[in-house]
Amino acid sequence: MQHINWDNLRYVLMVANKGSIAAAARELEVNRTTVLRRINKFQENLNCRIFDRGDAGYVLTPEAEKMIHAAREVENTLFDMQRQIAGHELKLEGELRVTTTDSFMLSVLGPHLATFRQKHPHIVVDVLVTNSLLDLTRRDADVAIRPTSAPEASLVGRRLCDVEFGVYAVPEVLTALEPDSVLDARWIGFADSLQSTPIGSWLEATVKQQNICLRCDSFVAIRIAAEAGIGLALLPRFLGDDSAKLVRLQLPVDELTTGLWILTHPDLVRSARVNAFVQHFTEALSAP
């Protein structure tokens, strides 16, 4: 009787979800060779081909689709069990995975993580800094602190405060601007995960593409580029106002104001670790 190696199946599922070996390797934090070796072992064990490789990437073979569908259901059941078990954990100790963006980590969260550490020394917080949305249902993280105008319906949480935006540049760039020519100046644009946000849509609709001189997928990188005099930058005010080199323009962008949310999965709200973290940061970040 052939037995499924569940550890190797994890690699197969990731390639099926991501569509490529490289993307799966990045998600699993291993190299491409490891992913290929695991997939080959899985195929050898079951004596069947799992993927066809085409122009669009790795695609499941018709024979493998039913098996992978069933495996995903098993995987989802395991995630459900893990969340429910974690949700009943009453001890204020152990690991807690928190995801946030690089801009909030740089400018806002550090001191509050320090006071949380002092209050709960036996909780080890793993901070996952990314501008991509991690899947809390799959327990990629336990808690998310991120800006959004519409939190996912499957999550629960609180709106902590408003995140306002402004347009910034160094004085040298502003001096070279002609009157009423802000939108015709050099701008720093958005790439990848930031490009698909409402902020990215505003910039695309407002500034001509030929005026975009550089693109970044991080507000921290955009601020660095603006401080170097590359062009005008649209930044969260907590990040732009904090820069000693940048000046905020009198260009109204009030419609871009969004909320900062702290979010978790409903199964985890009773976890002592999660509850302690949410309470601490709700009090810290809801303050004026």
Question: pLDDT digit string (tens) for 46-76?
Answer: 777 777 776 667 777 776 677 777 777 766 6
Q: If DSSP codes are grouped into helix, strand and coil, which group holds residue 219?
A: helix
Residues 100 and 156 in one domain: yes
Share of the chain above pLDDT 70, in %: 86
Residues 141 and 24 in one domain: no
- Pick the more confident residue, 114 or 79: 114
- How far is the C-alpha of 160 from the C-alpha of 158, rounded, in Å? 6
Residues 228 and 102 in one domain: no
- Domain of 80: which CATH number? 1.10.10.10
Closest CA to 17 of 28, 7, 3, 4: 28
Residues 135 and 272 in one domain: yes
Residues 151 and 274 in one domain: yes
CA distances for 219 relative to 42, 79, 131, angstroms: 41, 32, 9
Residues 266 and 123 in one domain: yes
Residues 54 and 196 in one domain: no
- How far is the C-alpha of 216 from the C-alpha of 231, rounded, in Å? 12
Share of the chain above pLDDT 90, in %: 39
Global pTM value: 0.68
Query: Residue 101 is part of which domain span?
Result: 94-163+259-285
In the predicted model, is pLDDT for residue 266 greater than 80?
A: yes
Buried b (16+ CB within 10 A) or exposed e, 151-176: bbeebbbeebeebebbbbbbeebeee
Closest CA to 184 of 160, 217, 204, 208: 208
Question: pLDDT digit string (tens) for 152-189?
Answer: 888 889 999 999 999 999 999 988 887 677 888 899 99
Residues 138 and 280 in one domain: yes
Is 1 a member of any domain? no
pLDDT at residue 90 in the model: 61
Residues 157 and 273 in one domain: yes
Residues 272 and 153 in one domain: yes
Residues 186 and 247 in one domain: yes
Residues 124 and 228 in one domain: no
Average pLDDT estimate for 189-194: 87
- Domain of 209: which CATH number? 3.40.190.10
Given a contact cutoff of 8 angstroms between Cβ atoms, the answer to whether 247 and 171 are in contact is yes
